[in-house]
Amino acid sequence: MGAAGKGGIETLVTYLEMTGPPLGAPLPPPPGIEVRRAFRPTTGFYRYLYDAIGADWLWYDRKLLDDESLAAIIHDPEVEVNVLWAQGVPAGLAELDFRGPPDVELAYFGVLPDFIGQGLGRFLLDWAVHHVWRSRPRRFWVHTCDLDHPRALGVYQKAGFRIYDRRTDLATPP
Looking at residue 151, what is its pLDDT?
A: 87
pLDDT tens digits, 125-163: 999 999 999 999 999 999 998 888 888 898 999 999 999
d(CA 42, CA 81): 11
pLDDT tens digits, 1-55: 334 445 688 888 999 999 999 988 999 999 999 999 999 999 999 999 999 998 8
d(CA 91, CA 54): 12
Looking at residue 127, what is its pLDDT?
A: 97
Question: Under the phi-then-psi rule, with left for phi > 0, alpha for psi from -120 to 50, and beta for the rest, what region is 22?
Answer: beta
- Contact assessment for residue 18 and residue 12, using Cβ atoms and an 8 Å cutoff: no
Q: Which domains does the chain have, with CATH numbers?
A: 2-171 (3.40.630.30)
Looking at residue 31, what is its pLDDT?
A: 94
Looking at residue 4, what is its pLDDT?
A: 40
- Contact assessment for residue 95 and residue 80, using Cβ atoms and an 8 Å cutoff: yes
Question: Under the phi-then-psi rule, with left for phi > 0, alpha for psi from -120 to 50, and beta for the rest, what region is 96?
Answer: beta
Looking at residue 1, what is its pLDDT?
A: 33
pLDDT tens digits, 51-103: 999 888 878 889 999 999 999 999 999 999 999 999 999 999 999 999 999 99
Looking at residue 8, what is its pLDDT?
A: 81
